[in-house]
Chains A and B, each alone.
Chain A
Amino acid sequence: MLHNERECRGCREYQELSRRGFLGTAGAATLTAFATPAWLPRISLAGSFQTRDTLVVVFLRGGMDGLTSIVPYGDPNYNQALRPTLWVPPPGGANTAVDLDGFFGLAPAMGSLLPAYQSGQLLAIHATGSPDPNRSHFDSNKIMEYGTPLQEQILFTGWLARHLQTMPPMGTGPLRAVAFNDLIPIMLVGAPATVPIPDPVEFGFPGSVATAAARRAVVDATYGVAPEPLAGTALSTTATIDLLATIDFENYTPSGGAVYPATPFGDALKSAAALIKADVGVEAATIDKGGWDTHNQQGVFAGDMFTLMTDLANGLAAFHTDMQSHMDSMTAMVMSEFGRRVDENGSFGTDHGHGNAMLLMGGHVNGGQVMANWTGGQLLHPDNLYAGDSLDVTTDYRDVVAEVVSKRLNNPDVNSLFPNYTPTFQGVATV
């Protein structure tokens, strides 16, 4: 049965392992020992947990237009005839591409990412995505996040969940992965010790502060003697509440003068930064950023996509500045379910397409370049288009994900991540 697939053994084992570990080392300490007023945890649970990178996945929901965010201005087929109002001219002057490598450039709204790129810690990969022809958001999200073609979707667990299931916990903390959303995304379905935390400041015991301790005492006492899995889950939950309470997210001060945008995306990245720096054993964080389905009035230099790109780039740039001290132990990945059509539609927007751009950020990504198999510099030539209307996928996103998971998250068996697919590493990261 399908649900049995979901309830995989490895997952339970590691949940148990994690809970036991927590009980053994820190369970008693958590409630009492944190006392010093700093945003950092007031006690180090067991030395640093950081034995492998923390992965931050930013998923751009709706189908980001990669031909606008990472402009292939060097391809002669990319021109104003193709995109009358959306065309980004080659570098030079206002409202032109911000040059990256003489062929690709950033949309002006993405210009704040140039320093990260120049530092060698930001990599763009173009003409990437899933080779699946599907153009439904819904199906494409599933294809990408379950990591299996639609027709073969028998594993209803996400690829990131399967990574966590097959790896022992990085530490003994109660929390292995966080989704900065109301619910966990598909990529984390089935993941052990994973909690959706829409806002870490709000992840507290509910209700009046005046009575919270006494009410929680009832919860602790009754769940403490409840049958599993409830006792363990209650402990994980209250431990996470306590864990997050030790991190003063509200007064967290980013390093290097970094200023996150005052947006939900900026807040989520800032929370991720605080959580990673707190070094409490969190291995993965996901952030959804929606709104990219720009069929109408796409708005490259002002308007919808301009605002989205500005938020995305300023957020990532701030994260890059803030996380300099941790660049050796984190990788951020930005992806979307598919790209958009190469030609502009009749309502100044673009329709669902195929290939797209991805971003990787981290101290061990091979940054400072745009990796793309661009077919003689003319992947946008009509003969080279996918289905005659879209950017092709010349780099499978699974190659990128698997390489990061292998080299940076130390997973020795990435073949299990994507069933029936053997990834080919593209050199996006170093061990």
Chain B
Amino acid sequence: MTEANALCDEIRSDNAEGDAPTGLSRRGAIRNVVAGLGLGALPAIAFGDPALRPTRGRRRQRPVVVPRFGATDPALLALINRATMGFSRAAYDEAESMGYEIWLEWQLDHENIDDSAWEAQLATYLFDTLTMTSQQIFNTYGEMDGIIVQQLVRATILRHAFSRKQLFERMVEFWTDHFNIEILDGQCRRLKTADDRDVIRANALGTFPALLSASAHSGAMLFYLDNYTNIVGHAQENYARELMELHTMGVDGGYSQNDVEEVARCFTGWNFWNQGSGQFGNFRFISGQHDNGVKTVLGNVINAGGVADGDAVVNILAYHPSTARFIAWKLCKRFIGYNPPEDMVETVKQTYLDTGGDIKSMLRVILHSTVMQYLTTPKFKRPLHLMTSVLRATGATVTQARYVQNESLSMGQAPFYWSPPDGYPDSIETWGATLLPRWDFGWSVFNSATSVTIDTVGLLNSEGGNVPGQQAAAINRILTGGALPVGEVAEIQDYYDGAPAGSALRDAFTLGASVPGYQWY
């Protein structure tokens, strides 16, 4: 038995057999993962080295005074970087004390994470629309839709940054992109809040078929992709096309223009209740607008009639192998790298098919220590990720919530502002083309005391950085766990040593957030 398999057995033993979410042997999945990374021969060697061995169950004495040496466990550091909205010392230490697998399971079981401290904090911002139905939102704010948008945008950024349910927030961000809805698009101003809560957040770590079905019935989605104008005799293909191209099968998933037209027919009459109905935004099937003729979608004859036609399409698409592959590829791309290994995608696809699209099961495969251990390609933080990273790493307190919205707008990635239905891109080409807004943010976040407070002195002291020549190293540990390139740390230290005392520390933090090394994760 190889070390890797031993590890897998060890993991399996954490859960009772019956708890395994799938019929798929976890060990088989992991073996495939390792093979998929082209690392089949490596684990036995690597795991033989205690320094590289995952730290499951290991508890370390926390040094009290002695400067810390940063994040020492590469797999754990990769996990924190990929599974959260940004490294923080607190999150790393928490994971280190729990152990890799326990932390991951704790994050996956998000409903049982005690997030009460953050929720109490969130309550102080008085975002009263977050828990309202769309009807209540309309009744309360009517045409004053700017307030509704503001509350959701600001709450989203703050939740991303400060909720303890970090993997959950990562997945909320992922699905928000996947099922993109532009909040400024007409009724979406009033409807996206319910979509965010009842579709995205309710299913972010559930199953993809349930998420897909919820999205298909969402008032915001029905408006955004125009299905509310999809009427028998005047079929509107917009939703049908994006449903297959962007939400499920992928553009190369093997559907035809005829399939698009047939799917559009299946969704005729899918609408939402209007503002005077008392149930504004709720799903409404208007049978008089539905095309009850026989349709054929991907070779399946659909003749259920009524609302069942659309539900049948959702069902076909949700369990289609192309969908499994598309979702697997996209998840791998988000968590592993821009060009994830083909075998890895196949393994996750198989997990999807074996588990009925169970999102947690796929994440267990993707975020397994054997995968995180050998990540080779860094990813470029999107602007929102950069912002949450700084807020998290520095333990910032946002006293003016408008600040985070304004900064996200300045950097070009305010939540829900992306207009086309493909969601904010997850690509270096897009975001690597604009740097000045990042540098502006790096300055702003450490120099906007009336909006966001960061105790730079306290942070430095906590990392033993109040020693000549050690400030930049401490900042590196605070921001990244010690991952910045040596040259960048040296440049920051040089700056610090020659800078005016009044601003040296804040400037050094600014530079820490601005240098290339901090833009990757």
Q: Which residues of A contact B (CB under 8 A)?
A: 1-3, 6-7, 12, 15, 136, 138-139, 142, 150-151, 153-154, 156, 182-183, 186, 195-196, 203, 205-208, 210-211, 214-215, 217-219, 221-223, 225-227, 229-230, 233-234, 237, 241
Complex CA gap A7/B186 in Å reads: 29
Within 8 A of A (CB), among B99-138: none
Complex CA gap A227/B491 in Å reads: 17
Range of interface residues on chain B?
Answer: 35 or more
Pair A222/B487 contact, Cβ less than 8 Å = yes
Pair B419/A211 contact, Cβ less than 8 Å = no
Pair A1/B430 contact, Cβ less than 8 Å = no
A12 CB contacts on chain B under 8 angstroms: 429
Cβ of B449 within 8 Å of any chain A Cβ, yes or no, is no
- Give 18 pairs: A residue, B residue, CB < 8 Å, sorted on A: A1-B250, A7-B429, A12-B429, A136-B185, A156-B420, A183-B412, A203-B436, A206-B436, A206-B444, A207-B443, A214-B495, A214-B498, A218-B494, A218-B515, A219-B511, A222-B515, A234-B435, A237-B435
Cβ of B488 within 8 Å of any chain A Cβ, yes or no, is yes
Q: Quick one: CB contact mask for B482-501 with A, threshold 8 Å, 1 for yes?
A: 00000110011011001110
Complex CA gap A3/B185 in Å reads: 22
Complex CA gap A15/B510 in Å reads: 28
Number of A-B residue pairs at CB separation under 8 A: 118
Q: Given known contacts A136-B186, A218-B511, is B432 in contact with A151 (CB within 8 Å)?
A: no
Given contacts A136-B185, A186-B419, 10 further A-B contacts (CB under 8 A): A7-B429, A151-B241, A154-B251, A183-B409, A211-B499, A214-B498, A221-B491, A227-B516, A229-B428, A229-B429
Q: A215: which of B245, B246, B436, B507 is its contact (CB, 8 Å)?
A: B507
| Nearest CB in chain B to that of A206: its residue | B443
A3 to chain B, nearest CB (A): 5
B425 CB contacts on chain A under 8 angstroms: 3, 6
A3 CB contacts on chain B under 8 angstroms: 422, 425-427, 430
| Nearest CB in chain A to that of B426: its residue | A3
Cβ of B503 within 8 Å of any chain A Cβ, yes or no, is yes
Complex CA gap A227/B485 in Å reads: 12
Pair B510/A207 contact, Cβ less than 8 Å = yes
Complex CA gap A183/B444 in Å reads: 19
Pair B182/A210 contact, Cβ less than 8 Å = no
A145 to chain B, nearest CB (A): 10
Pair B511/A230 contact, Cβ less than 8 Å = no
B379 to chain A, nearest CB (A): 13
Cβ of B519 within 8 Å of any chain A Cβ, yes or no, is yes
Pair B410/A182 contact, Cβ less than 8 Å = yes
Pair A225/B487 contact, Cβ less than 8 Å = yes
Cβ of B173 within 8 Å of any chain A Cβ, yes or no, is no
Cβ of B439 within 8 Å of any chain A Cβ, yes or no, is yes
Complex CA gap A342/B430 in Å reads: 42
Pair A229/B433 contact, Cβ less than 8 Å = yes
Cβ of B237 within 8 Å of any chain A Cβ, yes or no, is yes
| Nearest CB in chain B to that of A183: its residue | B412
| Nearest CB in chain A to that of B252: its residue | A1
Cβ of B514 within 8 Å of any chain A Cβ, yes or no, is yes
B251 CB contacts on chain A under 8 angstroms: 1-2, 154
Complex CA gap A257/B492 in Å reads: 49
Pair A153/B420 contact, Cβ less than 8 Å = yes
Complex CA gap A156/B251 in Å reads: 14
Pair A223/B422 contact, Cβ less than 8 Å = no
| Nearest CB in chain A to that of B442: its residue | A206
Complex CA gap A225/B500 in Å reads: 27
B44 to chain A, nearest CB (A): 32
Pair B503/A211 contact, Cβ less than 8 Å = yes
List the 10 closest pairs (A to B, CB-CB), nearest first.
Answer: A226-B516, A206-B443, A207-B443, A229-B432, A7-B429, A2-B422, A222-B515, A206-B440, A218-B491, A138-B185
Cβ of B150 within 8 Å of any chain A Cβ, yes or no, is no
| Nearest CB in chain B to that of A224: its residue | B516
Within 8 A of A (CB), among B402-436: 409-410, 412, 419-420, 422, 425-430, 432-436
Pair B519/A230 contact, Cβ less than 8 Å = yes
Pair A215/B430 contact, Cβ less than 8 Å = no
Cβ of B213 within 8 Å of any chain A Cβ, yes or no, is no
Q: A138: which of B186, B250, B511 is its contact (CB, 8 Å)?
A: B186
Complex CA gap A383/B237 in Å reads: 30
Complex CA gap A233/B492 in Å reads: 21
Pair B430/A7 contact, Cβ less than 8 Å = yes
Q: Quick one: CB contact mask for B236-259 with A, threshold 8 Å, 1 for yes?
A: 011001000110001100000000
| Nearest CB in chain A to that of B241: its residue | A151
A390 to chain B, nearest CB (A): 18
Q: Given known contacts A234-B435, A237-B436, is B427 in contact with A7 (CB within 8 Å)?
A: yes
* Residue from A2, A6, A151 whose CB has the most chain B CB atoms within 10 Å: A2
Complex CA gap A196/B440 in Å reads: 14
Cβ of B5 within 8 Å of any chain A Cβ, yes or no, is no
| Nearest CB in chain A to that of B430: its residue | A6
Complex CA gap A237/B246 in Å reads: 33
Pair A219/B515 contact, Cβ less than 8 Å = yes
Cβ of B447 within 8 Å of any chain A Cβ, yes or no, is yes
B440 CB contacts on chain A under 8 angstroms: 206
A221 CB contacts on chain B under 8 angstroms: 487, 491
Q: Given known contacts A138-B185, A138-B419, A156-B420, is B511 in contact with A215 (CB within 8 Å)?
A: yes
B430 CB contacts on chain A under 8 angstroms: 3, 6-7
Complex CA gap A182/B408 in Å reads: 11
Pair B436/A219 contact, Cβ less than 8 Å = no
B212 to chain A, nearest CB (A): 18
Pair B433/A222 contact, Cβ less than 8 Å = no
A138 CB contacts on chain B under 8 angstroms: 182, 184-186, 419
Pair B444/A223 contact, Cβ less than 8 Å = no
Within 8 A of A (CB), among B136-182: 182
B237 CB contacts on chain A under 8 angstroms: 151
| Nearest CB in chain A to that of B517: its residue | A222
A253 to chain B, nearest CB (A): 28
Q: B516: which of A151, A195, A223 is its contact (CB, 8 Å)?
A: A223
| Nearest CB in chain B to that of A191: its residue | B433
Within 8 A of A (CB), among B337-368: none
Complex CA gap A227/B379 in Å reads: 12
Q: Given known contacts A142-B420, A151-B237, A222-B515, is B500 in contact with A211 (CB within 8 Å)?
A: yes
Pair A151/B443 contact, Cβ less than 8 Å = no
B409 CB contacts on chain A under 8 angstroms: 182-183
Q: Given known contacts A151-B238, A237-B435, is B491 in contact with A222 (CB within 8 Å)?
A: yes
Pair B434/A195 contact, Cβ less than 8 Å = yes
| Nearest CB in chain B to that of A210: its residue | B500
B184 CB contacts on chain A under 8 angstroms: 138
| Nearest CB in chain B to that of A145: its residue | B419
Q: Quick one: CB contact mask for B8-31 with A, threshold 8 Å, 1 for yes?
A: 000000000000000000000000
Complex CA gap A79/B103 in Å reads: 73
| Nearest CB in chain B to that of A139: its residue | B226
| Nearest CB in chain B to that of A11: its residue | B429
Complex CA gap A225/B515 in Å reads: 11
B429 CB contacts on chain A under 8 angstroms: 6-7, 12, 229
B499 CB contacts on chain A under 8 angstroms: 211, 214
| Nearest CB in chain A to that of B326: its residue | A1
Q: Given known contacts A3-B422, A186-B419, A214-B495, is B241 in contact with A222 (CB within 8 Å)?
A: no
A221 to chain B, nearest CB (A): 5
A154 CB contacts on chain B under 8 angstroms: 251
A182 CB contacts on chain B under 8 angstroms: 409-410, 412
* Residue from B429, B444, B494 whose CB has the most chain A CB atoms within 10 Å: B429
Complex CA gap A222/B185 in Å reads: 41
Complex CA gap A31/B503 in Å reads: 25
Complex CA gap A225/B487 in Å reads: 10
Pair B435/A218 contact, Cβ less than 8 Å = no
* Residue from B186, B439, B442 whose CB has the most chain A CB atoms within 10 Å: B439
